[in-house]
Amino acid sequence: MPVLRPLPLAAGPALAESFADLVAMAAGAQCFLPVVDDPLAPDRQLLEASLHAGEPVDNPEACLVIATSGSTGEPKGAIHTPRTLAASADATHARLGGPGNWLLALPAHHIAGLQVLLRALRAGFTPAIADLRDGFDADRFAADVKLLRGPRRYTSLVPTQLVAVLASKEATAAVADLDAVLVGGAATPPALRDRALAAGLPIVRTYGMSETGGGCVYDGRALDGVTVGIDDGRVVLSGPMVAHGYRGRPDDPAFAVPGSFRTDDLGRVDDGVLTTLGRADDGISTGGLTVIPQVVEAELSAHPAVAECAVVGLPDERLGEQVVAAVVPAPGSAPDVAALRDLVAARVHRHAAPRQIVVVESLPLRGAGKVDRRALRDMLSAALSAGSGATSD
């Protein structure tokens, strides 16, 4: 059985030193656990301990154990083989119009960033690397885009990075010249999508996760070989890129059917187009009704005064939970929180309207651009206790 070895991946140009290891991994010659390159980082230590780095993997074909984002509880590691990784890369290139070179602007130890590298290497190119050691800088990213070479040129971003790109004329112009820009890691607000398309950016909204080798549904439609189903309201994804279960969890019900993964996301399929409605465990129980945060977020984010937003439930003695929203203002805007609440009440339901709206500078994030809802709850609780930046009805 292959032994799981940590693979430290840098956040800058030094990442190129790991390309040979990635090629070996994709060929099945090594089995790696991607981690950050700081050996003292608590997240790395937790992953190596929880996923038993240095011990054999009970799958002779395993070449990758990639950690889930681990928002709650102990991290899980999805087991991939050369076949699942190749299937993902090939299906992506087939949908986008053909193989090409890629520019990495995401953390390489997460599945979205790792697949950027693996797609380029599989296509025979040397991927370009944006230097993320000091965070994402749109103007610097524009210069990186101009240096990307290939018959077709691609990159992958998270919504917060797309916001930054649109705020820079130089970055917007450079990204508009690419053949495709995958946007995933978190839901892309409709207003942000519309702004990007109006600016001429070739964005493709992706849906997928570590367990599916990254995105396997693009703009709501499954990639070739992928089947999307709904089981008791939850999205089920099947196809050749689905992982072979979790490391050390052979009986996990999410992988009860080989080749399929039952997600924790709620969704529906209309005429072959998947719409995700939010995570089943994110539902807010308020006054005997369940509010899906993403539905409220979609309405708030459509307002021109809102750049980003997130909705969570906080304890309430009378309602059980109250709906609370954090709003990041659009540049030069001052959101009218009363108007935002009225908008949700009119477009969704009065019970879904946030009882509290807190204006914040930024949202806490985890993983590849996902909102850290646990940290957000703590931040909003502290803000409401202090009586700052909030309104209530």
Which domains does the chain show, CATH number per domain?
4-276 (3.40.50.12780), 283-392 (3.30.300.30)
Residue 171 is inside which H or E element, if any?
A: helix 169-176
Q: What is the pLDDT of residue 86?
A: 98
Q: What is the pLDDT of residue 71?
A: 44
Q: What is the pLDDT of residue 372?
A: 87
Number of neighbouring beta carbons within 10 Å of residue 2 = 18
User: CA distances (Å), 106 to each of 10, 11, 71, 369, in order?
Assistant: 11, 9, 18, 9
Q: What is the pLDDT of residue 70?
A: 47
Q: Print pLDDT tens along the chain (393 aa).
A: 999 999 999 998 999 999 999 999 999 999 999 999 998 888 899 899 999 999 999 999 999 999 986 444 578 999 999 999 999 999 999 999 999 999 999 999 999 999 999 999 999 999 999 988 888 999 999 999 999 999 999 999 998 899 899 999 999 999 999 999 999 988 888 888 999 999 999 999 999 999 999 999 999 999 999 999 999 999 999 999 999 999 999 999 999 999 999 999 999 999 999 999 888 878 888 877 788 898 899 899 889 999 999 999 999 878 888 999 999 998 888 899 999 999 999 999 888 999 999 999 999 987 667 888 889 999 999 988 887 554 544
**Can you tell me which residue has the tokens 């999410």?**
254
169: its two tokens? 């004329």
Q: What is the pLDDT of residue 72?
A: 47
User: CA distances (Å), 309 to each of 206, 228, 260, 312, 360, in order?
Assistant: 20, 28, 32, 10, 9
The Cα diameter of the chain in Å comes to 61
DSSP calls for 51-63: TTTTSB-S-TT--
Q: Are 308 and 338 in contact (CB under 8 A)?
A: no
- Give the number of C-alpha atoms closer than 13 A to the C-alpha of residue 27, restricted to the C-beta side: 8
Q: What is the pLDDT of residue 73?
A: 54
Q: What is the pLDDT of residue 292?
A: 85
Q: How far apart are the first and last CA of the chain?
A: 60
Q: What is the pLDDT of residue 282?
A: 81
Residue 291 is inside which H or E element, if any?
A: strand 289-291
Answer left, alpha or beta for residue 56, where phi above 0 means left and psi between -120 and 50 means alpha.
beta
Q: What is the pLDDT of residue 250?
A: 92
Residues in the chain: 393
- Output the pTM of the full model: 0.83
